[in-house]
Structure 1
């Protein structure tokens, strides 16, 4: 059992988190005359940002620190501080935490390293810290933690060098939670410089008590937070995270995440194609897609995306129309057209009325369209950008606008054009953003945009992706699958279930399999083939073998019983040390589109279903997509559409369309089976599945099931 989760469970939900972000008094245990030590920086930052409550440095060496009276011990303070920042060595921290608990401190922030991350000694020290925390109501952020902040209250406990330069002059409506302390400082400082401001922030460190998931829950109930940004390295409570994401959708507060560690250097040995392809990141991506979590691919886009969505909260919802691209650069317009297509952002044609108004003011050599490139005409009429933008933005087909600057706002003309754009978008109720083609978003010339809350995108791609995220945030999620479908039981065995039993379960789910016979010996193969009449397939059944073709245990299109028996004899002779249990003789299947269906049980999120192009090349082409179980018909259709298999299924190059609805039904049934047996079904492959022409259904040609544990 995860002891970290157990510690959290000892407290009432969110107890102490109000104090963490809104303390009325703070003790800084370990502050010294050295200004750059953690507790000293925390104290200095709170002083600099104007924290109004009690600030109490504790160190018996000094009567005063940074203009504030210093106390020799916690017991000497004039009041019990609500929060204590502890910046001592790991061993000394244990005593300080115990003293804080005895004194009635509500929350401690523990800065020191030297816990689980430092081997057996650290693990033992962490156990002692947990023991001190248990049996009380005091909460802890950390250990190995960079602290928390609330700009509106002047609270800033962060102590890396980035925090020395932060002004916190603007309070945003974004809550930021990170699992990386160094990255939190960089995100906050860069975000502040670019206008991506936050309202609350915290680094969870080792998350021995207060974890990321609990802080998200707290922020969902905080009225000053509209969007939550997360920098994730790993989830300690994945199901709680999913529940929080669902609540976030329900209350209209988007979750924007960046996840580090998307690749796996090594994976455990797996038996199925699904197990080989379903890595942790692929499954996390599926969770994000299905739960409406907005996942950025670069850490630089985390805060800017979250802040932009927060800025747009008071505007018309993005998604009812399309985006207007307004630019002075034809090249930028071309690039954006491609980026918008990739991000799923429509660039609608302007209405006849809008075109008529534009044509009345534009020179004959400038085409009125979307993207709208006024180009060199600005040199003859400097007011043209303002007039054209105002007209185009009124179009009913437009729900948002991206203004693309050419020159950085460092000269009079470039500043004029930017100010014209801000004059228009600053009073419009439609969402807007600005992207500079030259210069950078932190430039002083963009200060007016930052003050107006107009998002600044760092690139054309980032701008298109931002608009795409806003659309996704406003789209309804697909219905979740029905978990109540009746499904067959799993046999009470552990390990690999042979193909005969696996196919019997697939058939019991309502998915057709080829007519077949099982031969106990080579000599029985011919008679089995004769009963089936016509071309057959022969498969050697050998104990513990999941992929028969890799061992030469599959022979196709055998026209006569004699050929079938000869194929079985060859398998026996070439099988070496394989432990044969018999031979499966099947009627040769009709041709159709080959796909793969598979199941993998993820330790964090439970069973997932894989769909993609099937056959022996599934791992080579990796044209697969993943969805959570149980799956709804709409979710199954979405999964299909995410792969190249969709084109084959829907009639590629004159081929008749395949029975996609029968495939959807098979996917739903398989997902219900996986959900029902989530505790024991480890992996499953149904590969290939032949999708026959429309109206003829599907046919599962092979199946493999692996179980763990016994009922």
Structure 2
């Protein structure tokens, strides 16, 4: 049985066994049966505990083997040391779906990890799917089936069904977030806690929820990425179905290895890679529980935008200014209204109001509620407006009437309407409830409103984007070498770049002093000289670079000084020679391109300002390789230093197209050598005036060992 089929059985059981059940309904082992009874589970419940003959009138069995009927799902509330025995009994009873509540597994150390591996191996052999361990359970909200002991299951009000599905690795965060969202009138289809993810993990649940016809928004709380490739496939499903996936990931500090071999390694940690993947493939990432609930709220309405052109209406000038400020920070466009639309609004609002965007209808709307609603209706008809933010502080009867009118208008249009309603619950609560029950997104502050709108605009743009990502690299020329080992220094890397069609300076490797004597009079000066050594990767630090060499005498002096300096820096360094190459004298911008193989997502390509600016400014953009040309341009535009390429204060525009093409070629190279390449650094890349191309001035590739390749993505 596939995991998707298994999850369906977990969520829709007809019969449930509770192994280790207790009559103490306040205990972990007593709450599951209490919750099923409380929420009127329509199937069969089989309590299992030799201590009892019955619980609440339901017959209790000594062993799962004594149960007379079939068992769809078994809830296991026993000590971890008994799990192997329980698995034997489940196998004999042909129970293939287990929710394992208990702790004492991988989360407690090596001994627990070993037990978890044994349990998983045995379950896999027996064809048993496990949710957990260290799991509080799951909830089918649509059918009101709680399987577990989460505090949220104890609600007296019942559950609000809806179109949001939620998978959470943490039970505490997951079900507390669910409870808070329910208070915001957000309805759910399913909530699943995956715990230690021994078998069923969060992405399996997200896959199931994306395929569920009643679920239109899927959210996940992650403490780890169980499968990087699967996440990318889920994003493709999300786009094709236009169902957003919202992710809150903990552990965002950089925990990845900080390699000293190249600059790139220090710029791409696991969180960097995750955020890059999310941006590239249209996943919505949020920073905390509040952001997650706000995103659920705006997406659950089911409307999308055609762009980022926003108009705000407010009865407060200050509130309008605040929203304008936030829109600029968040990348939303406060669109200038057409003359026709502005004229219509001017005929509605008081003369001392403002028909500019943000629109200020003034406090006169306290007396004439039609001012707000008629202005809203005008904007609904304007095709140059993609979304409308309606801000009000009105409470009481007036606020209620306005909210009722907003609901009526919202039902008649596909254009998103988002409301900011500030004020106490006593004064604005009734109006807010009207909006919530109708599914109109309503927020208490301007920032929460505009941030949520940003999420909606970004996903709408991605899901409507017809551009496809490359699933495989284009053809790459083969240099005939199979020596993908160790460290490739500058000389070898430049040969590869030339094969890829990326320009490199002409140069000669001077092997020794006798070779120097043969070539020094035949070189084209001026020159740059650089040490070539697998042991000296940052040449400048070792005094391994000399520039502005104009004649043979200067070349000889530079050769000697480099050797002396490098051997002082690293006495045992292997020196393969001194590279003497043409010195680029044309004006240009310094950039860099790097590659880092991420353990979850594979090769990640990085670009940014080059030279010493990499480590100082850390102005970088990241994508998963391979990329297309439009993605390369997007990467460059994300850089704070992008204006340097466009030319500022009279500076010449650089060859951005050539740099973007180089990014694509390197990304294809990285993807072509997936699992083999560890790190790659091309720094600096000299970007000449527009139309004159680029030149790679230095580079390094670190290849993985055979052992590293065998365990990589």
Give the structure-1-normalised TM-score: 0.92
1:61 corresponding residue in structure 2: 51
Deviations along 1:325-364, one digit per CA (max 9) or x if unpaired, are: 1222222211211222333333323343433332223211
2:460 corresponding residue in structure 1: 474
1:401-416, aligned counterparts within 5 Å? 401-406=388-393, 409=395, 411-416=396-401
Contact 1:607 1:674 in 2 (8 A): yes
2 CA distance for matches of 1:513 and 1:191? 57
2:579 corresponding residue in structure 1: 584
Indicate which of 643, 661, 666 corresponds to 1:665: 661
Structure 1 unaligned blocks of 5 or more: 1-10
**In the superposition, relative to structure 1, how do residues 30 and 375 fare at CA in structure 2: closer, same or farther (>3 Å)?**
farther
1:7 corresponding residue in structure 2: none
With 592-601 and 452-461 compared, the bigger mean Cα shift is at 452-461
Contact 2:142 2:188 in 1 (8 A): no
Deviations along 1:551-598, one digit per CA (max 9) or x if unpaired, are: 111111222322222122122223321333221111111220110011
1:21-36, aligned counterparts within 5 Å? 21-36=11-26
2 CA distance for matches of 1:687 and 1:422? 57
1:680 corresponding residue in structure 2: 676
Give how far 1:365 is off: 0.3
CA RMSD of aligned residues (A): 2.5
Give how far 1:398 is off: 2.5
1:375 corresponding residue in structure 2: 362
SS where residue 109 of structure 2 aligns?
helix
Give how far 1:382 is off: 4.3
**In the superposition, relative to structure 1, how do residues 676 and 247 fare at CA in structure 2: closer, same or farther (>3 Å)?**
same
1 CA distance for matches of 2:148 and 2:516? 74
Indicate which of 123, 129, 140 corresponds to 2:113: 123
Does residue 343 in structure 1 map to residue 334 in structure 2?
no
2 CA distance for matches of 1:201 and 1:587? 63
Give how far 1:142 is off: 0.9
1 CA distance for matches of 2:520 and 2:643? 36
SS where residue 548 of structure 2 aligns?
strand
SS where residue 240 of structure 2 aligns?
helix
Indicate which of 227, 230, 235 corresponds to 1:245: 235
Number of aligned residues? 696
**In the superposition, relative to structure 1, how do residues 644 and 127 fare at CA in structure 2: closer, same or farther (>3 Å)?**
closer
Does residue 207 in structure 1 map to residue 193 in structure 2?
no
Give how far 1:265 is off: 4.6
Deviations along 1:174-206, one digit per CA (max 9) or x if unpaired, are: 111111111101110111011222111111111
1:126-141, aligned counterparts within 5 Å? 126-141=116-131
1:544 corresponding residue in structure 2: 535
2 CA distance for matches of 1:532 and 1:179? 64
Contact 1:328 1:374 in 2 (8 A): yes
2 CA distance for matches of 1:334 and 1:522? 71
Give how far 1:617 is off: 2.2
Does residue 431 in structure 1 map to residue 416 in structure 2?
yes
Give how far 1:393 is off: 2.9
1:42 corresponding residue in structure 2: 32
Contact 2:255 2:269 in 1 (8 A): no
Deviations along 1:129-168, one digit per CA (max 9) or x if unpaired, are: 1233133333211111121111111112242334433744
With 225-234 and 90-99 compared, the bigger mean Cα shift is at 90-99
Does residue 604 in structure 1 map to residue 600 in structure 2?
yes
2 CA distance for matches of 1:613 and 1:440? 50
Structure 2 unaligned blocks of 5 or more: none
SS where residue 643 of structure 2 aligns?
helix
1 CA distance for matches of 2:451 and 2:521? 61
**In the superposition, relative to structure 1, how do residues 493 and 370 fare at CA in structure 2: closer, same or farther (>3 Å)?**
closer
1:499 corresponding residue in structure 2: 490
Give how far 1:487 is off: 3.2
Give how far 1:700 is off: 0.6
Indicate which of 390, 393, 400 corresponds to 2:387: 400
With 280-289 and 185-194 compared, the bigger mean Cα shift is at 280-289
Give the structure-2-normalised TM-score: 0.92
**In the superposition, relative to structure 1, how do residues 459 and 44 fare at CA in structure 2: closer, same or farther (>3 Å)?**
farther
2 CA distance for matches of 1:242 and 1:166? 40
Contact 2:256 2:269 in 1 (8 A): no
1:566 corresponding residue in structure 2: 557
SS where residue 161 of structure 2 aligns?
coil
Does residue 640 in structure 1 map to residue 636 in structure 2?
yes
**In the superposition, relative to structure 1, how do residues 422 and 215 fare at CA in structure 2: closer, same or farther (>3 Å)?**
same
